[in-house]
Amino acid sequence: MRVGLGYDVHRLVEGRDLILGGVKIPYEKGLLGHSDADVLLHALTDALLGAAAMGDIGRHFPDTDERYRGISSLILLEKAYALIRDQGYFLGNADMVLLMQRPKVKDFIPAMEEKIAKALSCEKDRISVKATTEEGLGFTGREEGIAAKAIVLLEKKVD
């Protein structure tokens, strides 16, 4: 078994869609980034890669590579997970938390969990997404950005 931890943060800006967990969330701002800036999936991808000792998302999908400009982070997650599966690992479970003041996303969490489970070819009960505010504190509390944390358990295939 291997455990991985991921963390990501993106600035909220006008003129961008807000994509979290592969789901478009209605909001007046979105996240700034080279890809679709899905902070939740970036944290999850880093957790997966870290658990397999394969570096981070920037190592595999650098923001200097035009192939990844505007790309869906679900595609990056799928590509990263294929690399991990090639090393003989599969997902035990993933637990994630969004740190954000607004918008409220609880009604979108089931759709996020569905999309993530599909991207990782696993049962939905292996995926947990939560959201919390930081009570108006820090950059997330001031609504300047959104952060996400993820932890995963990888298990080795037994032949």
- List the one residue out of 76, 75, 118, 116 whose CA is nearest residue 98: 116
What backbone phi and psi angles, to 5 degrees, belong to 143?
Answer: 65, 35
Binding residues for a divalent metal cation: 8, 10, 42
HSE value, Cβ hemisphere, 13 Å, CA-based, for 80 = 31
What backbone phi and psi angles, to 5 degrees, belong to 90?
Answer: -140, 160
Question: What tokens appear for 40 in the block?
Answer: 């939740």
Binding residues: 8-10, 34-35, 42, 56-58, 61-65, 132-135, 139, 142
Q: Please give the span between the terminal C-alpha atoms of the chain, in angstroms, as a whole number.
A: 15
Task: Specify whether the CB–CB gap between 96 and 150 falls below 8 A.
Answer: yes
